[in-house]
């Protein structure tokens, strides 16, 4: 080999090393951003597939607004419109095909798993989008549900219901000082009144408001009746100077 060939090989090897390092740095950056923006979605379906879904949808907010049926075929729009035009079979999956869950399923169960996975992705994206302090616990529970679903399709073991799984996560958050309502927020302090203690005063306030409204309506009605009576009374003629 000549010196020029050795130089070219050396440059090529250095370029390969740079690309490998650049790829590793990108993967680390992507993992950090996904854990900060959508931890549940990343825990459920992975950083790469989750980022592709968010990018294709145009943002996490748009992805959270999509139904599960749209998320299922997200990325396979050309195949979908071609099937609708030719009246053929519609695609079963789009970008979520790269998930390991679909690869582990049997050929006859790939459509079921893709539909179930799209449903869980919709839940995870909504939790990530509309929570103040998102955690990855919902994503871990949804991932466990996917494992249970795979076992159900293979062996027939009954999986947990979605309601029970979510309630378990909510109880864990309450024990850690968080509660899940419309958003994941910090729990109330002990100085604030509890909801059970506030029920009776609220009821009394409602009753007082109703009584006040009735009184106001009755007073307005009486005033209007008095005005009508005064208007109906005949006016007295003024005496002229001649009289």
Is residue 24 situated within a structural domain? no
Structure letter (DSSP) for residue 105:
S
What is the length of the chain?
A: 243
186 by DSSP, 3-state: which? Answer: strand
How far apart CA 102 and CA 150 sit, in angstroms, is 9
- Report the mean per-residue pLDDT for the chain: 79
Give the pLDDT confidence score for residue 167 in this predicted structure.
Answer: 85
Residue 144's domain is classified under what CATH number? 1.10.246.90
Structural domains counted in the chain: 1
CB 173 within 8 A of CB 184: yes
Residue 179 binned pLDDT confidence (cut-offs 50, 70, 90): low
**The pair of three-digit structure tokens given for residue 216, joined into one six-digit string:** 């106001």
Is residue 243 situated within a structural domain? no
Is residue 78 situated within a structural domain? yes
Is residue 104 situated within a structural domain? yes
Is residue 205 situated within a structural domain? no
CB 152 within 8 A of CB 159: yes
CB 39 within 8 A of CB 31: no
Residue 166: which domain range? 40-182
Give the pLDDT confidence score for residue 207 in this predicted structure.
Answer: 61
Give the pLDDT confidence score for residue 195 in this predicted structure.
Answer: 44
- In this predicted structure, the answer to whether residue 182 has a pLDDT above a threshold of 70 is no
Question: What mean pLDDT comes out for the span 213-220?
Answer: 60
Question: What mean pLDDT comes out for the span 199-209?
Answer: 55
- In this predicted structure, the answer to whether residue 222 has a pLDDT above a threshold of 70 is no
Give the pLDDT confidence score for residue 178 in this predicted structure.
Answer: 65
Least confident range of 9-13, 110-114, 215-219, 228-232: 228-232
- In this predicted structure, the answer to whether residue 25 has a pLDDT above a threshold of 90 is yes
Q: Identify the helix (H) or strand (E) that includes residue 178.
A: strand 178-180
Q: b/e map of 73-86 (b: 16 or more CB within 10 Å)?
A: bbbbeebeeeeeee
pLDDT over 90 percentage in the chain? 25
Strand partners, 102: none
How far apart CA 58 and CA 102 sit, in angstroms, is 24
Is residue 188 situated within a structural domain? no
Q: What is the pLDDT of residues 109-122, one digit of tens each?
A: 888 899 999 999 99
How far apart CA 141 and CA 165 sit, in angstroms, is 7
Give the pLDDT confidence score for residue 197 in this predicted structure.
Answer: 42
Is residue 69 situated within a structural domain? yes
Is residue 30 situated within a structural domain? no
H runs (alpha helix) in the chain: 3-37, 39-45, 47-57, 60-65, 68-72, 77-86, 100-104, 110-129, 137-154, 162-175, 195-232
């Amino acid at each position: 080999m000549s010196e020029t060939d050795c130089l070219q090989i050396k440059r090529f090897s250095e370029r390969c090393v740079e690309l490998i390092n650049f790829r590793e740095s990108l993967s680390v950056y992507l993992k950090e951003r996904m854990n900060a923006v959508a931890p549940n979605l990343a825990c459920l379906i992975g950083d790469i597939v989750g980022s592709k879904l968010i990018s294709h949808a145009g943002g996490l907010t748009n992805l959270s607004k999509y139904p599960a049926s749209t998320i299922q075929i997200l990325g396979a729009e050309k195949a979908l419109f071609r099937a609708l035009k030719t009246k053929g079979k519609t695609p079963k999956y789009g970008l979520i095909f790269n998930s390991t869950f679909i690869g582990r399923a049997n050929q006859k169960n790939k459509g079921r798993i893709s539909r179930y996975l799209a449903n869980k992705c919709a839940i995870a994206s909504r939790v990530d989008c509309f929570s103040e302090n998102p955690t990855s616990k919902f994503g871990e529970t949804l991932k466990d549900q996917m494992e249970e679903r795979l076992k159900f399709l293979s062996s027939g073991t009954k999986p947990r219901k979605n309601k029970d799984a979510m309630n378990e996560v909510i109880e864990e958050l309450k024990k850690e000082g968080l509660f899940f309502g419309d958003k994941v927020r910090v729990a109330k302090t002990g100085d604030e009144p509890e909801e059970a203690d506030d029920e009776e005063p609220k009821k009394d306030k409602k009753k007082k408001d109703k009584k006040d409204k009735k009184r106001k309506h009755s007073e307005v009605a009486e005033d209007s009746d008095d005005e009508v009576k005064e208007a109906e009374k005949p006016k007295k003629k003024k005496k002229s100077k001649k009289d």
